[in-house]
Amino acid sequence: MQRRRLAPAMIAAALLLVGCSSAAEAPTAPASTSASTSSTPAPTPTAEPSPTPTADATADWQRIETEDGLFRWRIPAGWSIVDESGESELDGRWMNRMDISDADGEVLAFFSSHYTGGDRGGVCDDWDGDGTGYVPAVVHLDEAVQTAEGPLTSFVGPVEEGRLVAFSSQQTADTAWFFAGHSLSDVREDSVPCLTYSDVPTPEGYPSTGFGTTGDPDRWRMASLEEGVAYAATEEYDQLIEMFRSLELLEGPQ
């Protein structure tokens, strides 16, 4: 990749026995019958089948790795990225900035590091008049994805505890907002801040990093919390979460 210079900003067969009997030429008295019994052997116990291994949901996805060798993740096979990464004109630092689009080319999420002009969410007004920065919300996901032991990163070092979250929050009286991505905070239905950040916990010496859905109101603004709940039941939502979950921090250029 040619380095660019920017201004800051992955588908007993049953055998039917038909008894045929010959018709007798003269009627006969019915024969007496007696019931006979037979001993049927008990079935031989069979071993329980082994559980089928869980398929890797991202096995056929594309692998994305930043040019600085610090980050790697996967996107669905039909998705794409627009990579606007490059060296800062101010200090020469490498800045990652990528937009992730679905198969139709619609931008859903972004990844950035060392980038001061990244998309970090929006602020809502205190429309309900309670004097707080929190709003009604429905939490779709809140899970720890990275701790100081780093179970999901190949980097061994001190890392803040991070979370993967998804929620819909009431931004105004008639508008809700959907968000999914990394966070440094847990979320609760009664305390979701209007200001959302996509911060990824990184070790000392790593650049500040963001990975989450975009702040595009044309894509993520919804008419109600119920609309957000419906979206969280879609395949695209599952793909988004798996993409965010696949993020790895690497030790340096590979």
The structure tokens 């609309």 sit at 227
Q: What is the pLDDT of residue 61?
A: 96
- Distance set, CA 25 to CA 18, 21, 22, 31 (Å): 22, 12, 9, 16
Question: Which of 247, 238, 134 has the alpha carbon at shortest distance from 185?
Answer: 134
Token duo for residue 99: 């937009």
**pLDDT tens-place values along the chain, 254 residues long:** 444 545 434 323 333 333 333 333 444 444 444 434 445 555 555 555 555 555 677 889 999 999 998 899 999 999 999 999 999 888 888 999 999 999 999 999 999 998 654 444 455 666 667 776 677 889 999 988 754 444 444 444 445 578 899 999 888 778 899 999 998 877 777 667 666 678 888 877 788 899 999 988 899 999 999 999 999 999 999 999 999 999 988 875 55
Q: What is the pLDDT of residue 130?
A: 72
Q: Is the dihedral of CA 201, 202, 207, 211 positive or negative?
A: negative
Q: What is the pLDDT of residue 30?
A: 44
Q: How far apart are CA 187 and CA 163, in angstroms?
A: 9
The structure's pTM equals 0.71
Q: How far apart are CA 246 and CA 240, in angstroms?
A: 10
Q: What is the pLDDT of residue 28?
A: 45
- Distance set, CA 54 to CA 59, 86, 242 (Å): 11, 38, 14
Is residue 200 within 8 Å of residue 182, measured between CB atoms? yes
Quote the DSSP letter at residue 35.
-
Longest dimension (CA), the chain: 114
Q: Kind and range of the H or E element at 219?
A: helix 217-220
Q: What is the pLDDT of residue 242?
A: 95
